[in-house]
Every structure is written in C-alpha cells, then in structure tokens.
Amino acid sequence: MRSTIAPAQERSATASILVVDDAPDNLRLLLNALQEEGYTVRCAKSGNLALVSSENAPPDLVLLDILMPNMDGYEVCQHLRQNLQTSEVPIIFLSALDEGNDKVKAFALGGNDYIAKPFNVEEVLARIRYQLQAKRRHQQLQVLANQYRHRSHDLEQARTLLMEVLDGLSDGIAAFKPKRDQTGRITDFQSQVVNQAFWDDFWPWFSQQQGTHPPQNREAPLQLEADSDLFDVLQAALEATAPLQREVYCHHTEADHWVEVLVTQYHSRLVTRLRDVTQTKAQITDLEVAKQELYRLAMTDGLTQIANRYCFDSYLKSEWARLQREQQPLALILGDIDQFKRYNDICGHLMGDRCLQAVAQGMRQILNRPADLVARYGGEEFAILLPATPCEGALTVADRVQQAIRSLCLEDAVCHLCEQVHISLGVACMIPNPALEPQQLVTAADRALYQAKTAGGNCTHVDPV
C-alpha cells in the first residue's frame, strides 16, 4: 500500500502541478495520487490547453506527455522554455516512448526528467519531490543573486571569501558543467570552480590518466575528456536522483591512490568533492586482517592448532541446519585417548601435550574433504564431523583414524610406555530433521564411545540410532 505521508517541509507550502495528457485514465490516476500528497493539481488534455493554463497561472511543475494530437510534448516544452514566465518551471516527461533518442531529445529541449510509461506512481512522486526541492534551491539562489545584482563589489568580496574557505580545505572541491553536442550527448565536463587542493593534489592524478596537462592558470577551465574515470562518475551523477558517491583508483608517480568522489547535482551543475581515502582503506584492510586473525584464534585450540569446542558447536549447528534442508546424513566420530591420565602421570604433562598434538595432526591429515572438521572436544577428547557422510563412510574414516594413531611413535618419550598411543572411537550418524536436535547426535556418539572404552579401548563402536 502506498504511503501518503509526506515530509513536513513539503506539506508546509502547497505546490501547483500541471498534468498534460490526452489519456483520461492517466489524468485520473495522477490527479488522485498528487492530491493525496497535498499538491494543487490542474489537468490539460492537449498541448494548446496546457500553454493557455501555464500563461494564465504558471505552475510549479509540469508532468508532460509526448504523444498528443495537434501539438506533441516536445513542442509544448519548447514553448514553455521560450516563455519567460515558464522558462524555469521543471518539466518531467511521461511517455510510452522509451528509446534513447527520445530521451536525448527530451533533455536537449529542456526537460528536467524522463519517466517511461507504464510508470510507477511512487517513482513519479519521488521525482516530483526531487525536482521541486531543486527548484526551491534554485529560487533561493536567484533571490540571493537579485539581492546582490547591483553590488558587484560585495559579490567579488563574497567570492574571494568563498575561495579562501574552499582553498583552506584539504578535500578537493570543484564545480563542473556538462557540455553537449547537437544530439545532446555529453562530450566533456568543464570546471567552473576549483579549489587549491583539487588543483594541486587531485587533478594531476586524473589528468595523467588522460595524457593531458592542466592549464598554467588555475582560473582557466579544466576539461574532462571521456576516457577519464572522473568523467564516468560525473556522467553517472547526472542520471542519479540523489548525490552519488564512489571510490576511484588512481596511479600517479609510482604511487597508488584511492579517491572518494561525492557528486551532488545542483541546477545542472555538478558540485564535486574529492577525498584521498588511501590511508583509510589501508587501515580498514589492516582491521579486516586483524578481525580474521582474531576469529581464527577464537575458533582454534591453542595447543593442538585444530578447531576448538566453540568452533565445533557452531559448525555442528550450521551443518545440521544445512543437511536438514538437503536431507543428507551427518556423521560424528568422538575419540578419547586411552589411559591418558596414566600417560600424563608416567611421562609428564609436557609429553602429554606432545601426545595431544600428535593425535590432532594425525586426525587432520586423514581428512580429505574441505567440509570435514576435526576439533578438540575437551581434554583428551576429539571430535570429527563428517557432513553428507553415511555410517559406512564414517566407519571407513574411523578405521583410518585408528591406523593413523596406532602408527604414531613418540620416539623421544621419556619412557617406552609413552611411545605408543591408542584411542577409543564412538561413531553415530543421523539424517537431521525437525524432530531431532544436534545434541542427540553428540549423545549417540558419546554412548558408542563409552561402549568402546568399556570394551577395553583401542577399538571403534557404533551407536545404532
């Protein structure tokens, strides 16, 4: 449902809108929508009626159809632009013509915007608001210009002060005006205001891309040719309905630069702010690297350098949800080093740590798939999570784990009893569904592990879930 709530500043002053269209349905639709927004609306079914209505009471904005009998929208636009009373009235074309040449012709004749039919009412209202705001800003500027028209000395002082302020900024500030050929195509952008930072720091980066050099005099206009990155940003800003912000890469004098470009369209001029964000982007990159490293540390067991319990729990939860959607099995192997307390008592905790490290690396080396996860579950317990793996596949992995652990030989152990390591394994496999919880898979694997330990260890048991 379309909202009819308009900003307070728009409702404070009712704008008059003239809708020109020979289709009654379009007139009725636009009339209702505009009146709901609080606008004063007049309708005209032909170009002649539109010109008469505009002559008697110039509207604040004109919505103009192109395809009309006797006098089309292009001719109406020409007459409105030639009339001093309506020359500055914003004109938004509404037309079923959606070819590029039609739009170019509309803008070349003085149109402010172009919306193709069938149109979206919300889009039309948004563009009307934008054009009325632009018109108010323009009118405010005209009022100021009229106030100072006969005060050339004060204007010059104001301009000098403005340039002093702009020159004191570290950002590059410039205002550009588009130059068009006879077809309405933009051929280049010509500067009208340029501050010192733009001239000294930023212009060389873009002019080098063009293979040109800036004029010797800063008062001379700068020309942006079509192969400049800044040209592309300015051209995109002309088509945008809001200020446009982009980051542009520049290479100058063997140095890389990232420039943040913010362009605001102001009454057919483009006010441009350039800011060097190279250092900021480098800092963001460093922070992202630090963030990734902190994440890795948070998910890694410091002793064994495999995933820790927190990582295991998080991965189990996400894989359970994924495999529930895909209806694929999820297998879990829980392992416990046999008689590890005795191992620590005989060989010492340092040797016990080496044993944990060796077991962890032995398990990790037998896993071939990126989705498989080996984690330290706690103390001398380990967990291997095998997504999309049936029970038979999990048993195959468990056999390989047993072989890998039995083949471990810690030759520098302080006692021959510590050279050989054995492990008990418990295996469980489930197809996740909404009636089950991930913890049930852990519980099943733990039951199997308990059976293996009860059987004397150094073996594998499966829980028949």
- Answer for the pair 329, 392: CB distance below 8 angstroms, yes or no: no
Q: At what angle do helices 309-326 and 278-299 cross, to 10 degrees?
A: 90
Active-site residues: which are they? Answer: 380
C-alpha to C-alpha distance for 41 and 62, rounded to whole angstroms? 10
CB-based contact 322:433 (threshold 8 Å) = no
Instruction: Give the tokens for residue 123.
Output: 């889009």
Structure tokens at 100: 């590029």
Structure tokens at 398: 């468990």
Neighbour-count burial of 219, counting CB atoms closer than 10 A to its CB (0-12 exposed, 13-18 middle, 19+ buried): exposed
Residue 201 CB-density burial (10 A; 0-12 exposed, 13-18 middle, 19+ buried): middle
Specify the 3-state DSSP secondary structure of 255. strand
Residues 6 or more apart in contact with residue 320 via CB below 8 angstroms? 330, 432, 438, 441
Q: Are 54 and 85 in contact (CB under 8 A)?
A: yes
DSSP string, 355-417: HHHHHHHHHHHH--STT-EEEEEETTEEEEEEET--HHHHHHHHHHHHHHHHT---TT-SSGG
CB 15 within 8 A of CB 39: yes
> DSSP for 102-137?
HHHHHHHTT-SEEEESSPPHHHHHHHHHHHHHHHHH
Instruction: Please provide residue 83's backbone torsions phi and psi, each rounded to the nearest 5 degrees.
Output: -90, 125
Q: How far apart are the C-alpha atoms of 101 and 267, rounded to whole Å?
A: 23
Burial of 366 (0-12, 13-18, 19+ CB in 10 A): middle
